[in-house]
Amino acid sequence: MSDLACVQAIVYGYVQGVFFRAFVSELAVELGLTGYVHNLPSGEAVEVNAEGERKQLEKLIGYLKIGPPGAKVEKVITNWSEYTGSYSGFRIRYYSI
């Protein structure tokens, strides 16, 4: 049986307008994770909610700390919780202001 988990990660820094969400979405799909990523209204952070195998989630967090070219990650805060299975696929969420 695999070790399934859920993680919420808030990534702070220069992470909006640098294709960070697309970077996260592509990685999450490659890692077999489900969930979503979206920009926070502050303009200074991106939120990631992902579920899957803990080992793959830890890999994702490692990539979040680096980010795509053009991004400048200052810090990543994570909050682990139990796997819920509530997501199907991985999505970029867009919000209108």
Query: Which CATH number belongs to the domain containing residue 52 in this structure?
Result: 3.30.70.100
When the pLDDT of each residue in the chain is averaged and rounded to a whole number, the result is: 95
DSSP codes, 53-85:
EHHHHHHHHHHHHH-STT-EEEEEEEEEE----
- Quick: pLDDT tens for 63-72: 999 999 999 9
Tokens of 17: 């307008």
Does a structural domain hold residue 77?
Answer: yes
Active centre residues (catalytic): 21, 39
Does a structural domain hold residue 19?
Answer: yes
**Could you tell me the residue range of the domain that residue 72 belongs to?**
4-82
Does a structural domain hold residue 90?
Answer: no
Mean pLDDT of 10-31: 97
CA angle 21, 59, 5 (to 5 degrees): 90
What's the number of domains the chain is made of? Answer: 1
Does a structural domain hold residue 93?
Answer: no
- Tell which wins on pLDDT, 97 or 81: 81
- Quick: pLDDT tens for 34-48: 999 999 998 999 999
**Could you tell me the pTM of the whole model?**
0.93
